[in-house]
Amino acid sequence: MGSAKTNNPFFEAYKNKYGAPPFDKIKNEHYIPAFKEGIKQQQAQINAIANGKNAPTFANTIAAMDYSGDLLKKVSAVFFNLYSAETNDGMAKIANEVSPILSEHNDNIYLNGKLFRRVKSLYDKRAKLGLSPEQIRLLEKIHREFVRSGAALNEGQKAKLREINKELGLAELAFGQNVLDETNSYKKFVDKEADLAGLPESVCQAAAEAAKEAGKNAGWLFTTQKASFIPVLQYSENRELRKELLLAYSTRANHDNAKDNKVVINKIMKLRTQKAQLLGFETSAAFILDDTMAKTPKAVYDFLKTVWTPALAKAKQEAAELQKLMDAEGKAEKLEPWDWWFYAEKLRKAKYDLDEEVLKPYFKLESVRQGVFDLATKLYGLKFKKLDGMPVYHKDVEVFEVINADGSLIGVLYTDYFPRAGKRAGAWMENITPQYKKDGKNYRPIICNVGNFTKPTADKPSLLTMDEVETLFHEFGHALHGLLTQCTYPSLSGTDVARDFVELPSQVMENWCWEPEVMKTYAKHYKTGEIMPKELMDKIQLAGTFNQGFINTELLSASIMDMDYHMIKDTANFDAAAFEKESLNKMGMIPQIIVRYRSTYFNHIFTGGYSAGYYSYTWAAVLDADAFCAFKETGDIYNPEKAAAFRKYILEKGDSEDPMKLYRSFRGADPNPDALLEKRGLK
């Protein structure tokens, strides 16, 4: 006996003191009933708003819409968090089942003619309604959402759009699933110790443990997870091994088999282009950029060029320098992509005598995490307290209470830092529950930081690479943006901001991470507790501009390729393989560098929300370098007035005001790209 609703945690209020989901009680069979009931409930709420007898008001239409769908938001947040961080075959099936239902539900809201008429009538007289700036912003945001979803289309066009959305949702899911499957299925076992020449002891040990976990009694296992193969690219003297792993990584989902994403891309690009054109835009890029800070494709291309041109020139110099190093070894080999990391590491050592392996003992994960906590204490007065006994979805997850200087609760932070089979690659921040205000109560958020950092081994704690340290700071910046928000409406709160603005709070944190003043607080040797010697810190500072031609060329080529994809007008004979080649040729890409993400595993643009938006990282980099300058100029990187302004205008505001306006309020001026070019040694 018992219906789907009994013993289903989603149908009860979360009893946890902080409103945290009971992860320990949630099972796969709870999702579908909760999704279905959640959709039903929200549809009823939406119908009541749309069919209301009273004249539309902000409260009975806009606010009511934004607060609707409690149950659906609850189950979606948990499901999609875990679908990224701790998935399994059962969840993949559920995702396939709910994806079309969710996109249909979304269409049922945004293609509801009666509802749109109410929204539009309010929108048309918004200046006369006596609304607060935050309310006007929400009204505009919701109105735009309707128009972009096709509310202004005729019935035939609306039906077509629904069809496209449904197919697109499935194609995007298939893309991500193929990448995950291909990443998990590749295993390179090495059984001769001689083949490990050059690899640091810690890397060999991790590979040996991975082999054991995979059921081998001996040998070493390497995979296409970054934490596994990047050290091989950096240190392995075995050129064949480097080549094999890099090619395995860079051809994922690019074999002519059932997991081939080229086919999926063809489909996605056709659908996206059709959708944009149906909504009255020439290209998908024009459609997507319409509600960003950049606004138009031309603005993005112009912007990318200001960084691409000096970056490519620098990369060519760097390639020549690395080739010289290879020539000096007398091997008569041409520099290839699988050589770049290896020789760059050698050059870095020669130039700066900076060896990641010497640095890593100072970057114990727990110390680095304490470092970002301490930084948040210095800047914003926040306090972090470890919470034991909180429900978690995996034993690696740790939970912290975040308290304001005045003792009030800011929110809760979950950290989940190690790779495993059910976790997608990369690092990210997610909202587990959102922040908003309702009926006089300020609901505080629960935020999760997820990463795929180097795992501890039997005799060593997790020791991070510089890249990982930076990533931890970065994701923590997103977490602060999610935690400190003080908005009224859920759609405006936290990181729900324009995509080319959202990376400012995260990237600005990376500026603090290598400042000697900050490093002193967290870069302590994991055995002795000794603070990193000053010479090493100085070297890190000096090495800051090293290899920046490569890094920026890798990143910007992906940004330009992303834009090129979304500028397609005619998809009749579209072919992803040929397209990628042509796009890279056109921009002048050099053969020694592989674009940061080749098309078939470019999750950001084919599954995530970064289509025609990968440029945002660089766009935000201009903002973050300029924002950090504001602190530096005062001679105090913890300057309290600047920190208070950054918190007030950026971290607390969510999307409640225009981002350019917010930035100007903080900085007192427009963002200036010089700080970035200088920081990256491109000026």
Closest among 220, 227, 225, 214 to 197, alpha carbons compared = 220
Tell whether residue 506 is a contact of Zn ion (CB under 5 A). yes
Our CB check for Zn ion shows the closer of 367 and 506 to be 506
Select 223 or 506, whichever has its Cβ closest to Zn ion: 506
CA-CA distance, 342 to 338, in Å (whole number)? 8
Instruction: Tell me the closest approach of the beta carbon of residue 502 to Zn ion, in angstroms.
Output: 7
Identify which of residues 135 and 506 has a Cβ nearer to Zn ion in the complex: 506
Shortest reach from residue 471's CB to Zn ion, in Å? 9
Q: What is the CA radius of gyration of the chain?
A: 25
Contact status: 112 vs Zn ion (CB under 5 A) = no
Minimum CB separation of residue 624 from Zn ion in Å reads 11
Which of 189, 428 has the CB closer to Zn ion? 428
Considering only CA atoms, which of 621, 575, 618 is closest in space to residue 596? 618
Distance in Å, CB of 610 to Zn ion, minimum: 10
Placement of tokens 């010697």 in the chain: 533
- Please say if 475 is a catalytic residue: yes
Residue 123 CB contacts under 8 Å (≥ 6 apart), including other chains: 139, 140, 143
Phi-psi region of 440 (alpha: psi -120 to 50; beta: other; left: phi over 0): left
Which range, of 151-159, 321-329, 503-511, 515-523, touches Zn ion by CB under 5 A? 503-511
Total interface residues for Zn ion by CB under 5 A: 1
Name, in order, each residue with C-beta under 8 angstroms of 33's C-beta and a sequence gap of 6 or more.
Answer: 4, 5, 8, 10
Instruction: Give 336 or 470: the residue with its C-beta nearer to Zn ion.
Output: 470
The nearer residue to Zn ion, 415 or 506, going by C-beta atoms, is 506
x/- map, 455-494, Zn ion, by CB under 5 A? ----------------------------------------
User: How far apart are alpha carbons 543 and 633 in whole angstroms?
Assistant: 22
Q: Return the range that interacts with Zn ion (CB under 5 A); candidates 7-15, 77-85, 354-362, 499-507.
A: 499-507
CB of 493 or CB of 506, closer to Zn ion? 506
CB of 506 to Zn ion, least distance (A): 4
CB distance 527 to 572 below 8 Å: no
User: DSSP code of 524?
Assistant: B
> What are the CA-CA distances from residue 114 to residues 46, 62, 63, 111, 154 (Å)?
10, 13, 17, 9, 13
Interatomic CA distance for residues 8 and 14, integer angstroms:
11
Closest CB 559 distance from Zn ion, rounded Å:
14
255 DSSP assignment:
S
CB of 141 to Zn ion, least distance (A): 22
Q: How far is CA 466 from each of CA 154, 245, 503, rounded to the nearest angstrom?
A: 54, 22, 19
Give the nearest residue (CB) to Zn ion. 506
Span near Zn ion by CB under 5 A; candidates 376-384, 505-513, 634-642, 644-652: 505-513
Single-letter amino acid, residue 311:
A
DSSP type of residue 614: T
Nearer CB in complex with Zn ion: 506/547:
506
Sequential DSSP letters for 124-162: HTGGGTT--HHHHHHHHHHHHHHHHHTTTS-HHHHHHHH
**With CB under 5 A as the contact rule, which of the stretches 255-263, 331-339, 504-512, 595-603 interacts with Zn ion?**
504-512
Question: Which range in 34-42, 182-190, 501-509, 655-663 contacts Zn ion by CB under 5 A?
Answer: 501-509
Quote the CA–CA distance of 19 and 17 in Å, as a whole number: 6
At 217, the amino acid letter reads N
Residues 364-383 that bind Zn ion (CB under 5 A): none
Minimum Å gap between C-beta 499 and Zn ion is: 10
Cα 455 to Cα 462: distance, rounded to the nearest angstrom:
5
Q: Which residue in the list 86, 172, 468, 475 is annotated as catalytic?
A: 475
Closer to Zn ion by Cβ: residue 261 or 506: 506
Q: Are 189 and 216 in contact (CB under 8 A)?
A: yes
Q: CB of 620: closest distance to Zn ion in angstroms?
A: 8
Whether residue 442 contacts residue 461, with contact meaning beta carbons closer than 8 Å, is answered with no
Q: Residues interacting with Zn ion, by CB under 5 A?
A: 506
Residues designated as active site: 475
